Amino acid sequence: MDETRIPLIGEKFPELEVQTTHGARKLPQDFKGKWFVFFSHPADFTPVCTTEFVAFQKRYDEFKKLNCELIGLSIDQVFSHIKWVEWIKENLKVDIQFPIIADDTGNVSKKLGLIHPGKGTNTVRAVFIVDPDGVIRAILYYPQELGRNMDEILRMIKGFQVSDKNGVAIPANWPENELVGEEVIIPPASDVKAAEERLKKYECFDWWFCHKKL
């Protein structure tokens, strides 16, 4: 993969050997057969990042129920990560149980497009959602000043799993969509006959907008 461009949705997550707070890891191989959320944060010992790590840890069991692991990253050294995790445990009574990559060389950040010069030299708040086959399914980028919504990341993984299992699309704000509630969207018809049959088989606003309960 060209290191000068950001990996794209639908591509394989780049093969990386990284050093983490849990020892050396190989990505995406070490998570084969599992979903994983790879996320970067600007720096250890910063307020917004601390709120994010606590929020991720508070939901870690929910991620694991979805066969999903978490792995963080910043350009800090591993000793800084370790000390920060200790600080969080001692002062906030939260034990961070997922690994954090120490990208002090910046090589991983460059490969994944995590440093945006217009926002400084630290990594931005990036999120890569990767499926059990190592394919990137979603990419999110947030600036340093805005913390992420972890419930949305959980919702996205649930949505991908429902979509993959049932061959459907997921509406906005699912499972509380303003038009179809917790129902899901039927993929577009491929021909006239299929379009006519859909109107008989599903609830539809029109032939191109049909939905169903799971």
∠ CA 36-169-166, rounded to 5°: 75
DSSP string, 46-103: -HHHHHHHHHHHHTHHHHHHTTEEEEEEESS-HHHHHHHHHHHHHHH-----S-EEE-
Give CA–CA dist 124/113, Å, rounded.
Answer: 9
Strands 68-74 and 100-102: parallel
Strands 23-27 and 100-102: unpaired
pLDDT value of residue 4: 57
- What tens-digit pLDDT sequence spans the chain (214 residues)? 444 578 999 999 999 999 999 999 999 999 999 999 999 999 999 999 999 999 999 999 999 999 999 999 999 999 999 999 999 999 999 999 999 999 999 999 999 989 888 888 889 899 999 999 999 999 999 998 999 999 999 999 999 999 999 999 999 999 999 999 999 999 988 899 999 999 999 999 999 999 999 9
> Which residues on neighbouring strands pair with residue 139, listed in sequence order?
128
Give CA–CA dist 164/159, Å, rounded.
Answer: 9
Give CA–CA dist 182/159, Å, rounded.
Answer: 11
What domains does the chain contain, in order, with CATH numbers?
16-148 (3.40.30.10), 167-214 (3.30.1020.10)
Give CA–CA dist 199/203, Å, rounded.
Answer: 7
pLDDT value of residue 112: 92
Active-site residue numbers? 49
Spatial contact of 99 and 21, defined as CB atoms under 8 Å apart? yes
Spatial contact of 51 and 59, defined as CB atoms under 8 Å apart? no
Alpha-carbon Rg for the chain, nearest whole angstrom, is 20
Global pTM? 0.94
Give CA–CA dist 212/180, Å, rounded.
Answer: 8
User: What would the pLDDT profile of 130-158 be if each residue is shown by its tens digit?
Assistant: 999 999 999 999 998 999 999 999 999 99
pLDDT value of residue 6: 83
